Amino acid sequence: MSPAINGTADLSWFGRRSNGNVFASAFLYGGMAVALVIFLVFFLAPMIYMLIESFKPPMMSGEADALTFENYRSFVTDPLYQTILQRTLRVAALSSSLMLLCGYPVAYLLRIVGPRTRSRLFFFVISPMLVSVVVRTYGWVVILGKEGVLNSVLLAAGIDNGFSRSTHLFNMTAVVIGVSHVFIPLMILAIYNSLQKVDFSLLKAAANLGAPPYRVFFEVTLPLTLPGIIAGLTTVFPLAMGSFITVAVLGGPAVWVVSMSAYQQATTLLNWQFAGAIGAALLIAVTIIVGLFNFVMSHIVREQVRP
């Protein structure tokens, strides 16, 4: 288009561009407003309601309008719930550790292979997240059951003993394996993102200076990827703490955790107030643990980069 017609600048494009910017801005802010409303209605409002209800006595008490700390006192001081909370922390800690140990090599492999192989490996890492958690959990039931794949392989190999004749479900090991399998893609992606930022010429330089592979890893690679490890652990640990379906199916009553107690109080006993206190206490515990972990690991990272 000619910039001028009969000596007058043609500014028609400016009006069209301005209208486009207005529509784009309206669409952007409208979408943000819708997202904010959804967040307030479906996340924040239920959380506030749960918190308010947690300070009320059970409906059966006839004091529905009173406010009390009795629900929190019962959860904190009851030896049964102390044991359940400790077991929940143990499940989360073991699962997070297993995800780190298994996820780091996979993330490192994704970093060093070529683009075509990387895309294929990424498909295998991410594809389980496209399958329902229930389906993945029952996959482990098929593997670890009394007549499951594991025992069938052992019997076919001639190993016929108590181990190959019994179920491998309803114990801590099955729960840790199942929870780790569900959330490990998040750990792999977090570590891989950190490995992407590592200059591998530093590793070659360390090796050329005579450092053996284990020193290169522990003194160069690992410190440089600590931010990714922190991000991965602070992502999967809360998810493991609140995991319900996987623990209920693979652990059953033998591995009773906090989320199962909240579910029981809300659905079976209809004590929504105590269930709210359990949920709030779990949220507070996760926040404190993740905050302390972030503080300690951030201090370690600062010490690593300090000259």
> Residue 2's pLDDT is what?
46
Confidence band of 185 (pLDDT split at 50, 70, 90): very high
Whole-angstrom distance, CA of residue 296 vs CA of residue 304: 13
Confidence band of 11 (pLDDT split at 50, 70, 90): very low
Indicate if the pLDDT at residue 9 is higher than 70: no
CATH superfamily for 73-305 is MetI-like (1.10.3720.10)
Count Cβ neighbours within 10 Å for each residue of 17-54 and write b for 16 or more, e otherwise: eeeeeeeeeeeeeeeeeeeeeeeeeeeeeeeeebeebb
Indicate if the pLDDT at residue 15 is higher than 70: no
> Residue 61's pLDDT is what?
60
Residue 173's CB: how many other CB atoms inside 10 A? 14
Indicate if the pLDDT at residue 14 is higher than 50: no
- Range in 54-58, 203-207, 228-232, 297-301 the model is least confident about: 297-301
CA-wise closest residue to 279 among 81, 94, 68? 81
Indicate if the pLDDT at residue 145 is higher than 70: yes
Cβ atoms of residues 54 and 72 within 8 Å: yes
- Range in 15-24, 155-164, 194-203, 283-292 the model is least confident about: 15-24
Residue 181's CB: how many other CB atoms inside 10 A? 20
Considering all CA atoms of the chain, what is the largest pairwise distance in Å, rounded to the nearest integer? Answer: 98
Report the pLDDT averaged over residues 87-98.
95
Task: List, for residues 150-161, the tens digit of each pLDDT value.
Answer: 999 999 998 888
What does each C-alpha distance from 304 to 30, 172, 195, 249, 298 come to in angstroms? Answer: 44, 36, 17, 42, 10
Report the pLDDT averaged over residues 197-216.
87
> Residue 294's pLDDT is what?
80
Residues 6+ apart with CB under 8 A from 245: 133, 134, 137
Whole-angstrom distance, CA of residue 226 vs CA of residue 230: 6
Whole-angstrom distance, CA of residue 186 vs CA of residue 214: 26
156: left (phi over 0), alpha (psi -120 to 50) or beta: alpha
**What predicted TM-score, i.e. pTM, was given to this entire model?**
0.82
Angle (CA) 131 135 162, round 5°: 135
The burial of 260, by beta-carbon neighbours within 10 Å (0-12 exposed, 13-18 middle, 19 or more buried), is given as buried
What does each C-alpha distance from 227 to 77, 159, 193, 290 come to in angstroms? Answer: 37, 44, 10, 14
Indicate if the pLDDT at residue 163 is higher than 80: yes
**Domain boundaries in the chain?**
4-54, 73-305
- Highest mean pLDDT among 5-14, 71-80, 286-295 belongs to 71-80
> Residue 83's pLDDT is what?
94
Long-range contacts of 45-52 (CB under 8 A, 24+ apart): 50/276, 50/279, 50/280, 51/276, 51/280
Report the pLDDT averaged over residues 144-154.
91
Indicate if the pLDDT at residue 81 is higher than 80: yes
CA-wise closest residue to 104 among 82, 83, 125, 88? 125
Task: List, for residues 220-252, the tens digit of each pLDDT value.
Answer: 898 889 889 998 999 999 999 999 999 999 999
> Residue 118's pLDDT is what?
92
Report the pLDDT averaged over residues 63-73.
78
> Residue 171's pLDDT is what?
93
